[in-house]
Homo-oligomer: A and B are copies of this chain.
Amino acid sequence: MLTMESRKQALPLSWVLIFFLAISLCGVKASSGKPQEGPVVEKDQWRKLLVTEFGQITALDIKEDPEKLPYHLQFITLEPNSLFLPVLLHADVVFYVHTGSGKLTWVNDDGTGTIPLRKGDLCSLGEESVFYIQSDLEAERRKLRIYAMFTNTKDNTFNPSIGAYSRINELVKGFDKKIMQAALKVPDDLIDEIINKRNTPAIVHAVSKQRNVVQEPEASFLKNFLGVGSNSNKLEKYNIFDHDPDFRNRYGWSVAVTKRQLKSLKRTNIGFLMVTLARGSTMGPHWNPKATELAVAVEGKGVVRVVCGSNNEDETACQNMRFKVNAGDAFVVQRFHSMAQMSFNDEAFVFLGFSTSAKDNHPQFLSGKGSVLHKLDKHIMATSLGVSDRTVDDLLHSPQDSIIFGRRAWPLEQLGREESFESKKPLIPSQSLEL
């Protein structure tokens, strides 16, 4: 069986992502706030939670089905040298750093710590944690862009009526003067100073003094990392560009990160995926038997085909779909629905996403030796397809064994992208599928 998890190779690809910087979700219009019911949520349908000169936050709620709570996704952008102020998490979260670099500091029952963040990092924080994020002041002035997916599992639920997190300052200032005076027993003028301040935006400029201050928890983190202090005080992370993609050929590459690669994903019950398709390329038909996939197009244009395979006489069944996605659009494909993604119109197509899974999810591809088509009786297959046994023979003896295919003559190197990979090591040496 062909699984995305089992094919690990050795080619960090972070440079490719430099090209993706043009993606912007700016200019979003506040939408109604109701969860979108998919399958596509266009860039301007994301809810705008914050827009300042130092950064912005947009959010998306997509319902997998009408009976379930929606999945909540946030896209946080920090200008260089900016600060996302402390919030208290109400649900477990998984972060993916899409561009830029910075630092994440957290506080929870086990203590406090700071880890550096860079492009390609994946990490997760548990509910009840307080955290804040600071972007680096880089020479390149890259924005720090983070995708945050909030869990929706049996035990750790993002609940829309509770919200994803609360801002620490709002918690303090939300209680009126009398309560704060009673609780803090501090002079009136101190309370007044706090209560009467106008609201601080969630993202602000990080003044230099701050930067030194941040060193303190960082030191404490290092101490913990080195084994001094509590072990639980470490935050595990995984950088997708420090490892080979699961699959790569000249038409594109594909990466999936599950609890096997990053243990802390087990608690959150969320997986991560990223796929790059060169011009004129296609990710072959496949389905996720255990997970629904929530993806965001981050570069180029693509077309997604979703096939339900329903009995076509059942009018209540899911309908096959084809939709076009542009950078910034999100799309959802439910478990067991078959999909194929294609780059569109002479552009490459890059998307990342999160998959929801209580169990190991092994994507099933329709073509290739692992396909279910190979395991079915040939004559039954022929009857099902309404063709001759001979046609099925021809179909199944196709030499092709890949998951990403070129539709036309535009492989990756012609796009000037091949050289952007960080390594020139031979690809997929032992388990090469198609090169």
Contacts and interface: CB of A to CB of B under 8 A. Distances in A.
Contacts of A132: 380
Contact of A47 (B48, B197, B314, B334): B314
A170 to B, nearest CB: 4
Interface string A304-319: 0101111111111110
Interface residues of A, number: 127
Contacts of A312: 170, 199
A117 to B, nearest CB: 16
Contacts of A161: 64-66, 318, 334
Contacts of A380: 83, 85-86, 105, 132, 210, 213-214
Interface stretch (A139-147, A347-355, A398-406): A398-406
B407 A178 contact: yes
A413 interface: no
A376 B167 contact: no
A340 B179 contact: yes
Interface in A284-320: 284-285, 289, 305, 307-318, 320
A227 interface: no
Given A210-B380, A380-B213, A183 B375 contact: no
A111 B376 CA distance: 10
A175 B87 CA distance: 45
Contact of A309 (B171, B313, B318): B171
B159 A65 contact: yes
Contact of A200 (B33, B112, B154, B385): B385
Given A163-B318, A194-B395, A406-B182, A49 B169 contact: no
A50 interface: yes
Nearest to A401: B185
A270 interface: no
Contact of A405 (B162, B182, B317): B182
A127 B289 contact: yes
Nearest to A320: B174
A118 interface: no
A430 interface: no
A86 B381 CA distance: 8
Contacts of A376: 86, 107, 130, 168
B47 A316 contact: yes
Contacts of A367: 183-184
A379 B209 contact: yes
Nearest to A198: B386
12 contacts: A88-B372, A155-B358, A163-B310, A167-B311, A169-B385, A170-B312, A171-B338, A184-B395, A184-B400, A193-B387, A207-B383, A213-B377
Interface of A: 1, 30, 33, 47-50, 57, 59, 64-69, 83, 85-88, 90, 105, 107, 109, 111-112, 127-128, 130, 132, 154-155, 159-163, 165-176, 178-187, 190, 193-194, 197-200, 202, 204, 207, 209-210, 213-214, 216-217, 282, 284-285, 289, 305, 307-318, 320, 334-338, 340, 342, 358, 364, 366-367, 372-373, 375-381, 383-387, 391, 394-395, 398-400, 405-407
